[in-house]
Amino acid sequence: MYRLLNCMFVAVFLTALSLGRSAQASVIVRFDPPDITVDLGDVFNINIVADISDLVVAWGLDLTIDDESVVSLVGEPTIVPDWIAAYAPDGDGLAGVAFPNSISGSDILLATVTFSADVIGETDLLLSVTPGDFNEGFGLDPEGFDTVTFELGHVTVIPEPVTLCFLTVVVLVTARRKVR
């Protein structure tokens, strides 16, 4: 009877330990740079990076541009050499597999995304996973999914310097004519 109770205690302890470990585990995903200011008409890159505390074998993400009139995606994301690009059923191309080794660490580069600055304004960039979509999230080695925290990105599109200078001259000339 003592052995049975001892085995049950060990089983409950290991289960609680593993549940506590998975509850504490976390991946933090962010944009690098998190805030960027670009000129109208520019094509620019933003990296998607993660701090991964446990060994991960695969990942998949959704990318949302809050105001799609300000910036737009240019081409497919570039999945970096530490990962093998994986099929993303939602069509955004943001998925990777680690092979032959699992990956963990700080500032792990996942992908580079290219944008075009289409109109003057500001927009947020958001990363997420769709609950229940097993193609998204951070797959742990040997099994399960890690918890994920996402940080916002922000893009500000300003007039290109030549346009800004031209507009300044027009305003000054107009103001001078009104004074006379």
Task: For residue range 96-115, list pLDDT tens digits in order.
Answer: 999 889 999 999 999 999 99
For the entire predicted model, the pTM comes to 0.77
Distance CA(17)–CA(170), nearest Å, equals: 69
pLDDT in tens, 35-57: 999 999 999 999 999 999 999 99
Residue 12 belongs to a domain:
no
Distance CA(99)–CA(114), nearest Å, equals: 25
The total domain count for the chain is 1
Range of the domain at 100: 26-171
The CATH number of residue 57's host domain is 2.60.40.680
Q: How far is CA 146 from CA 56, 123, 158, 167, in A?
A: 8, 28, 38, 51
For β-strands 148-150 and 27-32, DSSP reports them as parallel
